[in-house]
A and B are shown apart, each in its own frame.
Chain A
Amino acid sequence: MIKTIKVGMADLNIVESPGVLLTLGLGSCVGIALYDTEKQIAGLAHIMLPSSKSINNNHNPAKFADTAIELLIDLMTEKGAIRKNMLAKIAGGAQMFSFKNSTNNLLNIGERNVLATKKVLNGFDIPLVAEDTGGNFGRTIAVYPKTGVLFVKTINHGTKEI
């Protein structure tokens, strides 16, 4: 029986092979998968917002791209993963609803989450090897630490592996 660890919204976790990390229904949130296939350790974060710096109430590191990635790296390194082996794949960042003439700057939050995620990964020198982002639909994803495969499932837009 393969151990499956569910990662909720504004949550993160790590797993060693043969485990699997799973997060359900990414909308505007971004799923950030880091993995070291040599040590067969992976981490997954389900972030909601780009930056902990612009919010007062920021005590949950898993909620923000910057603090979530930093914490994933630390947790994976503690388990024996090697920082320079780490690769990243991301999914999500959709815009679920569209309005004409909206004044709500949170509507494009998906896109901003993706941009912030890429910037933070870049800052930590972790290569982003694949992404399935944008669009107007939800995604469920699973990451496998042995291969680094990221499995993406949608309701009306098929399934794929990246």
Chain B
Amino acid sequence: MSYHIDNLDSLQLDVLKEIANIGAGNAATALSVMVNRPIDMNVPKLNIIYFNEVENILGGADIPVTGIYLEFHGDIKGTIMFIIDEASTFNFLSLLFGKDHLDKDKNLGEIELSALKEVGNILTGSFLTSLSQMTGLTINYTIPAIAIDMAAAILSVPFIEFGQQGDRALFIETVFLGKEKQVNGHLFLIPSIDSYTTILQALGVA
């Protein structure tokens, strides 16, 4: 049987939620090491939405967001995308650079972009590492690409991949908390059709 979002049962969704929990926990730890100060996180939420509900998750279909995107391959393949809204992007940079780093009218420079890319790399990397450890599957991943643009335009990339299988997208909503600043992150893990089955089998719930 091949699995996709529309036919996952509640046990399988619970397992995915647990992966999200552990993955995000490891991601928060990695982030905290990177910025050398405590980073907390809320329990991640697993969401499934229809494509036309973009505005409900990021506050608007054409507001600017930051997307960090990479591909993974090995025993399973697919793509993973981490999205943060504009306020969270600036909060993230403050966490990284230690103060109110930039005013919001200013465009981000090379340093800020590569810092965000690195954060995306660490978060998605520690997430995939958790997934790999839990399942025993080998997962390699590419260097991330970054884009800052309209929410729907950024989301069209993972949504098109989901669109080949159905009309909904599954994503994990995580909130990372620094001392004063909060970062609302949305992590889209998009395994290929075959890979869903491989993951669920490796976890014993297929």
Question: A interface vs B, CB < 8 Å?
Answer: 8-11, 24-29, 48-49, 55, 57, 60, 63, 94, 96-99, 102-104, 106, 109, 136-140, 153, 155
Contacts and interface: CB of A to CB of B under 8 A. Distances in A.
Given A96-B157, A97-B69, A27 B62 contact: no
A24 B147 contact: no
B159 A9 contact: yes
Given A10-B51, A10-B52, A138-B150, A24 B61 contact: yes
Contact of B154 (A10, A138, A139): A138
Given A25-B153, A97-B69, 7 more contacts: A25-B62, A27-B150, A48-B51, A49-B163, A96-B157, A103-B71, A109-B160
B35 to A, nearest CB: 25
A140 B62 contact: yes
Interface in B1-59: 51-55
5 nearest A-B pairs in the assembled complex, by CB-CB distance: A138-B153, A25-B152, A8-B52, A27-B153, A27-B156
A55 B156 CA distance: 18
Contact of A99 (B54, B67, B145, B153): B145
B101 interface: no
A63 B51 CA distance: 10
B62 A138 contact: yes
A106 B64 CA distance: 23
Interface of B: 51-55, 60-62, 64, 67, 69, 71, 73, 79, 142-143, 145-147, 149-157, 159-161, 163-167
A27 B153 CA distance: 4
Contacts of A49: 160, 163-164
Contact of A155 (B55, B61, B67, B149): B149
Contacts of A10: 51-52, 163, 167
18 contacts: A8-B51, A8-B52, A9-B159, A10-B52, A10-B167, A25-B153, A48-B156, A49-B160, A60-B167, A63-B167, A96-B147, A97-B67, A102-B71, A106-B160, A106-B161, A137-B153, A140-B150, A155-B64
Contacts of A24: 55, 60-62, 150, 152
Nearest to A48: B163
Contacts of A94: 153
A26 B164 contact: no
Nearest to A26: B153
A11 B73 CA distance: 32
A138 B145 contact: no
Contacts of A8: 51-54, 61
A27 B73 CA distance: 25
Contacts of B51: 8-11, 48
A77 to B, nearest CB: 25
Given A96-B147, A99-B142, A155-B150, A27 B167 contact: no
Contacts of B146: 97
Contacts of A104: 71, 79
Contacts of B165: 57
Contacts of A109: 160
A131 to B, nearest CB: 17
B147 A25 contact: no
